[in-house]
Amino acid sequence: MPLEKLLQKSNHSIYKLVVMASKRALEIAEGQTKLVDLPSSIKPSTVALYEIMAGKIGIKNVKH
């Protein structure tokens, strides 16, 4: 999975991408349902990246 495509999903911020993926990976590891169809042998961090790539997970735009 190309990093450039993942960065597009995080407004071209590697920091936002890492935070988004790590939070989602923790949710998956704690038992939340996967939003993409992958074998159970795939690690939660990889599943999170596939979910981001598929557009199932995104960042919130918060205005202060």
Q: In this predicted structure, what is the pLDDT of residue 61?
A: 61
Q: Which one, of 11, 59, 64, 20, lies nearest residue 28 by Cα?
A: 20
Give residue 3's pLDDT. Answer: 86
| Torsion 7-13-18-21 (CA) sign | negative
28 located within any domain: yes
Give the pLDDT of residue 59. Answer: 76
Q: Is residue 59 part of a domain?
A: no
Which pLDDT score, from 0 to 100, does residue 33 have? 95
Counting every residue written for the chain, the total comes to: 64
Per-residue pLDDT tens over the stretch 10-48: 888 999 999 999 999 999 999 999 999 999 999 999 999
Judge whether 61 lies within some domain: no
The pLDDT confidence band at residue 2, using thresholds 50, 70 and 90, is: confident
Task: Supply the CATH number for residue 18's domain.
Answer: 3.90.940
* Stated pTM of the model: 0.86
Residue 62: inside a domain: no
Domains identified in the chain, total number:
1
The residue segments making up the domain with residue 12 are 3-53
